[in-house]
Amino acid sequence: MLNPALFSSATDNWATPQDIFDRFNNVFNFTLDPCADSKNAKCDLYFTKEDDGLSKDWGGHRVFCNPPYGRKETGDWVKKCYDESRKPGTIIVALIPARTDTKWFHEYIFKTTAEVLFIKGRLKFGDGKNSAPFPSMVVIFGFHWLYLKEDENIEKLNSLKRAS
């Protein structure tokens, strides 16, 4: 029997697909996962729900953020990603629902220098057998092509774009 939560917003916890994380980590070498628990943390340094990653300083880190996907929560996390990315040496890669009709998309992604990669098809999160009921995108905050000085890293990023 299918879990009805997979087709609704009954859950806001969608575990990051390992292959997605690995592809981006290969380019960015993440140091912080601000939306984790002890079972699904992707970095040695991580914040749990109890730690409240929204209240913490992410400055100077390379952050992978797969936030809770609630209606209000996603917007709060996207704003945090945008705000923190303005700190020196901070790059944030966020895996979020592709909700281009939202205020947070227009305020903190579309009107900014964030790089957006729309993912073709629908992701399977965690160990789920079914695809998510929503499309996804990866948003890179605080990243500029000038950071990539080595041809190898430029090729890695281009491969991410082709795979999305």
Query: Could you tell me the pTM of the whole model?
Result: 0.80
pLDDT in tens, 53-106: 999 999 999 999 999 887 789 999 999 999 999 999 999 999 998 899 999 999
Domains of the chain: 14-163 (3.40.50)
- Cβ pair 15, 2 in contact under 8 A: no
Angle between helices 18-28 and 151-163 (to 10 degrees): 160
Task: For residues 135-140, give the mean pLDDT.
Answer: 88
Task: For residues 137-151, give the mean pLDDT.
Answer: 71
Q: Is the pLDDT of residue 107 over 90?
A: yes
> How high is the mean pLDDT of the chain?
81
Q: Which amino acid is at 28?
A: F
